[in-house]
Chains A and B, each alone.
Chain A
């Protein structure tokens, strides 16, 4: 069995007497240390799938196993980086990370060790200089870096990224992607990322999971990206493997499973 194992995951929502099936029979195995992206058009249920792994939603059918144990509630071993950073605005950058560290490592680390661990994680995302600023005083990219530091500081078994770079401008996004790649190389985390950006998926992932359109969305295809690491953005532009992977994802998204609005 895989490290993170999805078996026949399905979820339906009932509202006002009408039941709509969002996901059906999602089967997937993610190995330890793998970087997996989930890509698909808006409304295909990719965020719903991530929320099931996070434990924020419960699957209606099937289930998710992490290291052989069923996921049925949220927890720090499956830390989430939310799309809109979700930092608490009344706390400083350091206090936001400290809230997580103090809760997760209460009783396991001394207060001095926790302080060092907070510093180490802020340093990892190059945010030491703004540790005493509040979220309102830093840029969108910096907020997202703090969100990543907060999630990494929980030492999660799986790091869940919900369109982490979606709200950022292209330059900031590229910079942050490089940072996440570097952290992944250094720490070897298992990462699952939601995205709708083809280049981002190919650049960062070991495997790209392509979702069909909803309702009743499921996995259409899984693409392996056999590019060597560390990957450098500039080198990949001319790389044939990169080009093929990119073409395959584009073909899936725009030829075979075009967005519902476009297909109609």
Chain B
């Protein structure tokens, strides 16, 4: 009820943007902002209060939010410190994790779109590859890690491989579905225009499948971020996953909670970034 009451004047002020003076427009914008921000803020505060109450009792296993804040204040305000080795600020851990994800995910995007196009285009490639894909994609990401370590004999490429192998399947499968679902009309149009294979691929096939491809890319980025934390716990070195494992080994529960909040926020931002790229590239024809 309060939401609609707050939204209506805003809608009205947009309709008469050119005529409305600045004051009411700003007020309208403020009301719109309040409608968006107030509900999540209220829920967040409620959760924090309940958490505070539950964990403030003597003998509680986890620290209350106030303790988390005081314990980790140094980490929050100094994200850039670097004492050598793995004793670095959270910025460096997150940046190391993001670099691994970026590399593994980029390879997965290129390979996934290429293989997906092949499978979507060719019935024989689909018959040959699809059963293999369907089996391999159910293998949990971390099950690949020992194999990768055996093959690469190093943690860094193994982590990147795990990201790749985790995120490549949804990209392949969605790309293939997108190519397969391309309307026959588009093939007819390109046949009448006598587009060559290269033009057909870039001007018709990829744009037509783009909404599907980006669905795969969005699922892929989410999965890679899920996998990197687990992989880093095992391979060690600098990275947010290792930071969490290290905090557990040193019984710094507050640091774990802080790291989880960062992981969640960054995962959310990654998803938003891919979604924004999708809207930009497909010019709004993609489902958001």
A interface with B by C-beta (< 8 Å) = 54-56, 73-76, 78-80, 82, 84, 86, 88-90, 99-100, 103-104, 134, 136, 154
Q: Enumerate chain B residues within 8 angstroms of A55, measured Cβ to Cβ.
A: 191-192
Closest residue of A by beta carbon distance from B189? A86
Q: Given A82-B185, A89-B285, A99–B192 Cβ distance below 8 Å? A: no
Residue B222 CB within 8 A of the other chain:
no
- Give complex CA distance A104, B189 in Å: 13
Contact assessment for A90 and B283 in the assembled complex, using a CB-CB cutoff below 8 Å: yes
- Give complex CA distance A154, B195 in Å: 13
- Give complex CA distance A154, B283 in Å: 27
B174-200 residues at the A interface, CB under 8 angstroms:
183, 185-186, 188-189, 191-195, 199
Contact assessment for A82 and B207 in the assembled complex, using a CB-CB cutoff below 8 Å: no
Q: Enumerate chain B residues within 8 angstroms of A78, measured Cβ to Cβ.
A: 192
Q: Which of A75, A76, A103 contacts B199 (CB 8 A)?
A: A103
- Give complex CA distance A70, B163 in Å: 55
Contact assessment for A104 and B285 in the assembled complex, using a CB-CB cutoff below 8 Å: no
Contact assessment for B193 and A56 in the assembled complex, using a CB-CB cutoff below 8 Å: no
Q: Given A90-B210, A136-B285, A103–B188 Cβ distance below 8 Å? A: no
Q: Given A99-B203, A100-B193, A103-B195, A74–B283 Cβ distance below 8 Å? A: no
* Extra pairs beyond A88-B204, A90-B208 (5, CB < 8 Å): A54-B192, A56-B192, A75-B194, A79-B192, A103-B193
Contact assessment for A103 and B194 in the assembled complex, using a CB-CB cutoff below 8 Å: yes
Selected A-B contacts with CB under 8 Å, 11 pairs: A74-B191, A74-B192, A86-B185, A88-B186, A88-B189, A88-B207, A90-B207, A90-B282, A99-B193, A103-B193, A103-B194
**Range class of the B interface residue count:** 10 to 19
Name the 8 nearest CB pairs between A and B, nearest first: A86-B185, A74-B191, A90-B207, A74-B192, A103-B193, A86-B189, A89-B285, A90-B285
Q: Enumerate chain A residues within 8 angstroms of B207, measured Cβ to Cβ.
A: 88, 90
Q: Enumerate chain A residues within 8 angstroms of B192, measured Cβ to Cβ.
A: 54-56, 74-76, 78-80, 154
Q: Given A88-B207, A90-B210, A56–B285 Cβ distance below 8 Å? A: no
Closest residue of A by beta carbon distance from B195? A103
- How far, in Å, is A219 (CB) from chain B's closest CB? 25
Q: Given A82-B185, A86-B185, A90-B282, A104–B191 Cβ distance below 8 Å? A: no
Q: Enumerate chain A residues within 8 angstroms of B193, measured Cβ to Cβ.
A: 76, 99-100, 103-104, 154
Q: Enumerate chain A residues within 8 angstroms of B282, measured Cβ to Cβ.
A: 90
Q: Enumerate chain A residues within 8 angstroms of B285, measured Cβ to Cβ.
A: 89-90, 134, 136
Closest residue of B by beta carbon distance from A51? B188
- How far, in Å, is B284 (CB) from chain A's closest CB? 8
Name, among A55, A78, A79, A103, the residue most crowded by chain B CB atoms within 10 Å (CB to CB): A103
Q: Enumerate chain B residues within 8 angstroms of A99, measured Cβ to Cβ.
A: 193, 203
Q: Enumerate chain A residues within 8 angstroms of B203, measured Cβ to Cβ.
A: 99
- Give complex CA distance A173, B27 in Å: 48
- How far, in Å, is A97 (CB) from chain B's closest CB? 11
Name, among B183, B191, B199, the residue most crowded by chain A CB atoms within 10 Å (CB to CB): B191
Closest residue of B by beta carbon distance from A151? B192
Contact assessment for A86 and B186 in the assembled complex, using a CB-CB cutoff below 8 Å: yes
- Give complex CA distance A55, B203 in Å: 22
Closest residue of B by beta carbon distance from A55? B191
- How far, in Å, is B287 (CB) from chain A's closest CB? 13
Q: Given A103-B194, A136-B285, A80–B188 Cβ distance below 8 Å? A: yes
Q: Enumerate chain A residues within 8 angstroms of B283, measured Cβ to Cβ.
A: 90, 134
Q: Enumerate chain A residues within 8 angstroms of B204, measured Cβ to Cβ.
A: 88
- Give complex CA distance A54, B283 in Å: 32
Q: Which of A73, A82, A89 contacts B188 (CB 8 A)?
A: A82
Closest residue of A by beta carbon distance from B199? A103
Contact assessment for A74 and B188 in the assembled complex, using a CB-CB cutoff below 8 Å: yes
Contact assessment for A74 and B194 in the assembled complex, using a CB-CB cutoff below 8 Å: yes
Name, among B189, B191, B194, B195, the residue most crowded by chain A CB atoms within 10 Å (CB to CB): B189
Closest residue of A by beta carbon distance from B191? A74
Q: Enumerate chain B residues within 8 angstroms of A86, measured Cβ to Cβ.
A: 183, 185-186, 188-189
Contact with A along B102-145 (1 / 0, CB 8 A): 00000000000000000000000000000000000000000000
